[in-house]
Amino acid sequence: MHAISDPNLPLVRRLEAVGFRAWPASSVVYDGSWQIRLTGSHASKRINCVVALDPSDSRDIALRIEKAGRRFASHGRPLLVRETPLTPKPLIDFMIADGWERFEEVVTMTVDLTHLDLPDTLDHLPTQDVGRYVDADIAVHAGDAAGKPALAEIITSIQPPTGLFVIEDAEDGAQAVALCVQDNDLAGIMSLAVRADRRRRGLGIEVLTSALRWARMRGARSAWLQVVSDNREALALYARMGFTEAYRYAYWRKVGA
C-alpha cells in the first residue's frame, strides 16, 4: 500500500476532529492553530503530541517548539510532533534541520458503511462495564495492569456514544477487543486487537463486524480506523473488509532528547 500523494484535506480535517474526540487528551492548549495535547496519566502518543491543523500556520516555529517543549517537560513527557497532511512544510523542514527523526507512520483508513455487507444480527453486544472492557484490553494487549486507572479515565472521558466490545472464553478469558466511537455519521474503531495466541482464527473480523454493525444500526454511514503502516496483517484484514486509505500521519522526536 502506497501513501496517497494528494489527500482530501477537508476529509483529513474532519477525521482529525473526530479522532481528537474519540481519544481525548486531558489537557488541550492552542498556540495559533497548533494543538498541544497532553495527558499526564497515560503515555499514548495520540494524546501527548503537538498537532498543527493549518498548513499555512508556520510563523515563529523555533519559538513555538521551544515553548511547547517546556510544557511537555513540565508534564514529564518527551516533546512529540504529529505530522499529518495539515502540517506546514516549514515545520517539517525545521525539524529535519534541527536533527529530529520521523517514526511510526500510521495509515488512516475509511469505509462506506451504507454498502458494506454485514450480518443482520450482532454476534456480540457491547458491554457497559468499563472495568470489564479495560481488563480485557490490557489482557489482549499483554499490557501492564497498573495502567488500568489511566485507561479507564480516557474511556470514561469519551463524549460521543461508545461501544465496548469484548470476545471472551469462559475458561480462557479475553480473546479480542474493540472500542467503537460513534460521532454522528462517522464511527471510529479504536484499539482493535486479538490476543497473540488466538490470532488467525477469524476473531478480528468477528469483533470488527460486530462493532461496525452496531455503529450502522445507530446511524453511522462511514467508519474509520488507524493502523501502523508496517502491520501488513492488519492492513490486509481491513482491505478485505473494504477499508481504503484516506491519509497517513507520523510522529517526530528530537534525536537524543
Per-residue pLDDT of 197-247, as tens digits, reads 878 888 888 899 999 999 999 999 999 999 999 999 889 889 988 999 999
Q: Measuring CA to CA, which residue among 135, 77, 83 is closest to residue 108? A: 83
Count of CB atoms situated within 10 Å of the CB of 108: 24
Q: What is the mean pLDDT of residues 131-153?
A: 91
Average model confidence (pLDDT) across the chain = 92
Q: Enumerate domains of the chain plus CATH numbers.
A: 9-106+249-254 (3.40.630.30), 111-247 (3.40.630.30)
* pLDDT one-digit tens code per residue, 83-117: 999 999 999 999 999 999 999 999 999 999 998 88
Scanning the structure block, which residue is given the C-alpha cell 494528494? 6
> 172-205: per-residue pLDDT in tens?
888 899 999 999 999 999 989 988 887 888 888 8
Ordered alpha helix ranges (H), the chain: 9-22, 61-74, 89-97, 130-140, 148-156, 203-217, 232-240
pTM for the full predicted model: 0.91
